[in-house]
Amino acid sequence: MTINAFIDALPKVELHVHLIGSASVPTVLELSRRHPGSRVPTTEEELRAFYGFRDFPHFAEVYQAVNALVRDPEDVATLVTGLTRDLARQNARYVELTVTPYAHHIMGMPMREVTEALDSAARRSRDEHGVQVAYIFDIPGEYGVEAARITLNHALQEPPRALVGFGLAGIEQERPQYRDAFRDAFRAATAAGLRSLPHAGEMSGPETIWEVLDHLGAERIGHGIACLDDPRLVAHLRETRIPLEVCPTSNVCTGQVGRIEDHPLPRMLAEGLFVTLNSDDPPMFATTLSGEYRVAAEVFGLDREALAGLARNAVNASSLDQTGKKEILAEIDGLPTAPVTP
């Protein structure tokens, strides 16, 4: 079995992927043609150029333009089932999909209708594609107090059945001015039984990671690559086994890392950190979940056992029940990891 065949056969779990960012190029083109006059191009060549991000603020601007094309609950459901169709082709069994209720709120979608679309899409994903879907509701941090209020209200008043987590994303440098609102929202969400799953340490320093650990009760951290700038934080993460959702291609595309060869993933593994591999916004970054495993093999030199270890980490860091975890872990353990003998 070649390394590519091994990656294809490897059962996978995706923990860090955004609903809007998961929209495939054909889907975005369909929506942009359906809603003329938007800032989103209507040809594939122009759209791929549109996805050439200068930095994270430019990425956020493009992301918002694509979000503006998602105008009714059926669009939301279409995005979910489109993602799970793509994941099924990569032998993924489970996904924790990040949804931003505030983005649908500002487009005028009622909470109940969004929730019904998410519930319907989760059922279809399981029945048609064999992929189990769980949801994370995240606050877009740069939108502050109002975004925190809307996100929390939706999570508590009209949650989809598969809602498991509460998150915080967006431009990290904007967070300090809304710190108290975010802390209050996470306190209420976790009291209601949701897991704390914020982004941190993607585009700012270790202090953002300390904030989510100390004041948001983070159980898992989106990205977290800035932890390496603080030896005390690295030691803390190693000791507590807090999982880090690492997204190498994303970090390059948004300008957080200059070249893929310079990505800190190998050093994070060498430090003994609990790392999972994820795709973030795959069509926007011209990647896939399987593609991230290929990067790990081809660029970072990870062998089959190391790749299987990353897959196991994702299962263990997930919100799956113990039965679901055991089933996928058994499949991973059943794959041969010894190198091919010529």
Rg, C-alpha atoms of the chain: 19
List the catalytic residues: 202
Using CA atoms, how far apart are residues 195 and 186, in angstroms rounded to an integer? 9
The kind and range of the H/E element at 92 are strand 92-99
Contact present, 202 and 225 (Cβ < 8 Å): yes
Domain residues of the chain, as ranges?
3-326
Fold classified for 3-326: TIM Barrel (3.20.20)
- Asked whether the whole model's pTM tops 0.85, one would answer yes
- Under 8 Å CB-to-CB from 240, ≥6 apart: which residues? none
**pLDDT tens string for the chain (342 positions)?**
899 999 999 999 999 999 988 888 888 887 788 777 777 888 888 888 888 877 778 888 888 888 888 888 988 998 999 999 999 999 999 999 999 999 999 999 999 999 999 999 999 999 999 999 999 999 999 999 999 999 999 999 999 999 999 999 999 999 999 999 999 999 999 999 999 999 999 999 999 999 999 999 999 999 999 999 999 999 999 999 999 999 999 999 999 999 999 999 999 999 999 999 999 999 889 899 999 999 999 999 999 999 999 999 999 999 999 999 999 999 999 998 876 544
